[in-house]
Every structure is written in structure tokens, then in C-alpha cells.
Structure 1
Amino acid sequence: MSAGFDAIPFNGSPILWNNRHRTTRPDISFYHWHQCCELLLVFGGSGTVVINNQTYPIREGKLFVFQPFEIHKVYAKATDDLPYDRTVVHLNHVHIEPYLRLFPKRQELFDRLCYSRDMERAFELGEHFEDVRQCMEDYERFAHDDRGATQEEITVFLLRLLSSLEKIIPETRSHSPVQRRSEEYSERIMGWIEANYMENDILNKLADELHLSRSYISRLFKKETGSNLSEYLTAKRIKVAAHLLESTTTPVENIAHQIGFQNVSHFISCFKKTYRLTPLRYRIKVKTTDHS
């Protein structure tokens, strides 16, 4: 489990497909970003998605498109009565772009979705939800075998998906190339934290790295993400702690210091606030689940 920059392991494949998945426990809310384009199709649930400091509701029939290196956050309020039901797809957009060269209108729409700074990327599918759902389900049948990795099947999937989206996305009148969005300061900040989250005195070191004042860095991050920098740093550390609790036998106290907490009690309090369990009980639960 990673946080901040969340690298997607394509391993040479143009697409990483996560089958339709339903959960009844709340997702952990965390700002993160990938090196690729991500699609999130919601079949059921409630909660919020944050893109570009704008908040959108999670509900059936919503499709979200997250651009490469774009900060976003998904928080689902899943319960037994209202599970969070979705499919997530990661697209290696650089690898896929040549597949669409024979279909200029679809390629232009794909480019806008992946790169345009002004493109809406939270869609109410409405009457077109069934078309998109069927498109997803048809590809999912062989997404994990050799056929699903072929250029032909990926191209067919994308053409069907883009044809459905074309019906709800206004056609651009501009003939100029897509204006790709520039890197935000917050992306640079998160990239630095990704490599240095375990350090002490983070804000001063970050200010030295970016040649900006502490207060200005904090304001920039809040403006661009809607989140406090300290909140982001704590979330990063807690996510790393969860991974260490799941994958190692390192004592809780050692993990706390390893990820940058000076006070073990504070670490336990932050962890419990996020996962609703103490670190020790979280480890026991995960180990029990793995062996059940």
C-alpha cells in the first residue's frame, strides 16, 4: 500500500484492470496521484471525490477520470446497507495513444480527457450508464488473460467507451492542440514528501528545497488541494505504517519512529483515527483475515 505518488505497476501492459469490487467498510481518504490516466465507474455507494479542489458526490452512474499526475481523493462512506461498488481502470495513456490514430475524433477526445486543463472529468452518465456498464463488463470477461492485453481488444474497449462519452461531452470548437496542464506546486511537494516523509522538521526542509517560505508553502498546498500539509503528511505516514503492520513483524514503537513520529502515543492516536483500530489490533485483524 503506497501513498502520495502511487506508481501503477503496468509491467509492460497498456492497461491495468481492477475487476468490479464491492466493499462495506469506509475507504481511507487520501490525496494521491498516479503516472497514468485512471477511470472510476461507480455502481453504488455514497461519499465524495475531490479533483482540482472541487468536490463531487459518489453515486451510481458517476464516471470519474483522473489525469496523469493529477491530485485526487476518493472517500466512500461504505456500509452494510450501502456498499461502495465500483470498477477502477488504469490506462498507460502513452502506450495507448497510437491505438487510436486511425480514429481522429476518438483520439482527440481521449487526449482531452487525459491532458486538457479545462476538461470536465466527473460525469453523470444518466441514460448512457447502461452502455458504459456493458462496455466495462464485456472487457472484464477477458481483461486478465492474453486476449485482454491485445491491441485489438483494448482498442475496441476504448472506442466503445469514448463513443458513449462523446454523447455527453460537448465537442470542442478549437482546432489547436490540447493545452496540457502544468505541474502544480502541490505535486512537487507531494513528490518531495514521498521520498522524505520519515524526516524530522519537514516544513523547514521543504522550504529550503523549494526556496519558498514555510507559510507560503502551507498556503499553496491548501489552495491547490483543499487539505492542510500536516494532514497530508500524517496520512502518508499512516498509510506506510499500515503496510508495515501488514507485511512485517516490526514492533509498533519501532514503526512509529521509522515513519517519522517522535511520540508513540500520538502515532497510535492518529492511526486509530484513520483505521478505527489501534495499530496492534489492526495487525491482528489483518493476519487473522489472511489466514481465514
Structure 2
Amino acid sequence: MSSSFQELFHFHPGVEMIYIHEGVGRIIIEHRIFEIKPGALLFIKPFQPHYLQMNIGPEQPYVRSLIKYEPHYLSAYLKMFPTICKFHNDLWKDPSILQVQQLPHSAQLERFLKESYERRRSYPLPDRMEGKALFLVSLFHYLQPLWENSEPSKHSSHTFSPVVVQIMNWIDENYFNEFQLESLSQAVHLSPNHVSFLFHKVTGKTITEFLTVRRLKQACLLLKTTTQTVQEIGQQSGWPNFAYFCQVFKKHIGMTPKQYRYQ
């Protein structure tokens, strides 16, 4: 469990699942906003930019359980369980599936998570990877009927304002080019100052921060899935200056592009 975190747009090469024990706030996933509270379970897909905003104070703590794993790794263990395997593949690959659920019987899930954690800690070190796989198989077996039979609230999520969605779509289509606020503002028919103000007001972050994460997502994907040189990947991701690309990458990812490729 964790009681602290840093607010920022970010992504992960694997799956990230977050269960909210205590705390209220919202999460931005792609172009949607989800309100979250205790009992919420979040499923974040690989390389999916997201931004968690929690209202934290002395009388309002934030406590979560965080689960990270590589989906290809888990898929190997799910081959013997076709129903669970399909459910997991839908969560991971289906763009229309709901990624945030307010689960019923939260006390049961919390007990399951706590008991599983204590059990895995008792395993000898060489067996802990196997124990983690068994935990994940059991977790998805537990979640499948809850997830598939749930009735999500009509107010559980909503899209951004149309202009902010336009801004995000424009960045998706133009992130590899040199960024010009004037070009973006013309595309959405607003002044540059209004574009910047509106984006920050709705998302809590700047356009530059969102653009950087979008470029980093592309760079990480290319590093893991192609044999292109690091310099070529930097250029295709929007950084023609190789030294600056390496500097930004290390600042945000915590390692050089070459280290990331071979980790």
C-alpha cells in the first residue's frame, strides 16, 4: 500500500492497477475524466498517458494498493483459463471497455489483497515470481464477474470540453513536428493565451507537459518495438536535437534511451 504519490502526466510500459482504499479525486485517462473514491479500481493500459489528481489533506489521506505487471508475462499463465484470459485481453486491448470501476463488497476485496500480499511475502525469494502470477490469476478470477456484471454510473466519467479534446487530438496528430502554439490556436479558432488558459484550467497541466508525455510515449514504443537508432527515434518523436532528446528522456523516464531499450 502507498500513502504518497506525485501528480503528473505519465505512462508505464506495463499494466498498472490501482485500488483506492482511502481518498477522493479524479483520474484523467486519454481524453476522459473519472471521478474516484474509496472502492474504485483503476486499470491503466500499457503506454497509456494518465494523470491522477487526489484531494489530499490532514483529514483526507490517500491510501492505495498498486499492482504493476507485464501483460505478456501474465498471458502465458492464463492459457489454461480461457474465460479469464478473454476477460484480461478485453481489459488490456479493447478500447471501449470501462477502465474504472466502483466495486461492490470492497471489504472482501481489501481482505483478499491483504491476505495475498502476506502470503507472497512468506514465499522463498526464488518462488515470488510464481506467487505473483498465481495472485494475478486469482485476482482476475475474482474481478471478472464483478467487472462484467457492473452497472457503471452515468456520471462515473465524462469527456473534456470539446475544445480541450480538439487540443489533445491536434497534439496526437502533430507531436512529431516542431510545436507552434499559433498553429494550434488557429486549428481550434481561439487565441494562443485562451488555448493555454483553457487547457490548464480543465486538466491542471500545461500543453507543453502533455506534449512531452505524448512524445515520450512514442519514443518508448519505438525503442521497444523497432531497431531504429536512438537518434532516429528522437527525430520521429519530435526531438530533432539528439542531445536534448536524451536529456528530456532521462529526466522523465529515469534512464537513457539506450538503457530503456535494453532493460
| TM superposition score category, shorter chain reference | 0.5 to 0.7
2:214 is the counterpart of 1:233: no
Aligned residues: percent identity?
A: 15
- Deviations, residues 184-243 of structure 1 (Å, cap 9, x unaligned): 8756877x6xxxxxxxxxxx7246xxxxx5447889x999xx649844439969xxxxxx
Q: Tell me if 1:148 matches 2:128.
A: yes
Cα distance per residue 1:53-89 (max 9 Å; x no partner): 2222231111000011112110111112111000111
Counterpart check, 1:205 vs 2:178: yes
- CA pair 28-188 structure 1, distance change in 2 beyond 3 A: farther
- In structure 2, relative to structure 1, the CA distance for the partners of 1:98 and 1:126 (3 Å cut) is same
Per the normalisation by structure 1, the TM-score is 0.53
Q: CA RMSD in A?
A: 3.7
The equivalent residue for 1:22 is: 3
Distance (whole Å) between structure 2 residues aligned to residue 232 and residue 95 of structure 1: 34
**Structure 1 residue 137 and structure 2 residue 114: aligned?**
yes
> Larger helix proportion, structure 1 or 2?
2
Corresponding residue for residue 63 of structure 1: 41
2: CA distance, partners of 1:77 / 1:228: 13
In 2, the alpha carbon distance for the partners of 1:157 and 1:187 equals: 36
CA 1:62–1:111 in 2, change beyond 3 Å: closer, same or farther? same
Quick one: distance in 2 between partners of 1:230 and 1:47?
19
Instruction: Give distance in 1, aligned partners of 2:135 and 2:207.
Output: 39
Residues 189 and 91 (structure 1), Cα distance of their counterparts in 2 relative to 1, 3 Å cut: farther
How far, CA to CA, are the matches of 1:234 and 1:105 in structure 2? 37
Where structure 2 has 5 or more consecutive residues not aligned to the other structure, the ranges are 150-168, 190-195, 214-243, 245-263
Amino acid at match of 2:111: Q
- For residues 13-61 of structure 1, the C-alpha deviation after alignment (integer angstroms, 9 at most, x for no partner) is xxxxxxx0124xxx54322211111100110011111123222223111
Give the Cα–Cα distance (whole angstroms) in 1 for the partners of residues 83 and 8 of structure 2: 35
- Structure 1 position 75 matched with structure 2 position 18: no
For 1:154 and 1:33, locate their aligned partners in 2 and report how far apart those are by CA, in whole Å: 22
Q: Do the aligned residues in 1 keep the contact of 2:15 with 2:68 (CA within 8 Å)?
A: yes
Corresponding letter in the other structure for 2:128: G
- Give me the whole-angstrom Cα distance separating, in 1, the residues matched to 2:110 and 2:10: 26
- CA distance 1:136–1:119, shift in 2 (3 Å): same
- Note the residue ranges of structure 1 that are not aligned, 5 or more in a row: 1-19, 172-183, 193-203, 208-212, 238-258, 260-292
Distance verdict in 2 for CA 1:131–1:218, change over 3 Å = farther
- CA shift in 2, pair 1:236/1:185, >3 Å: closer
Matched residue count: 183
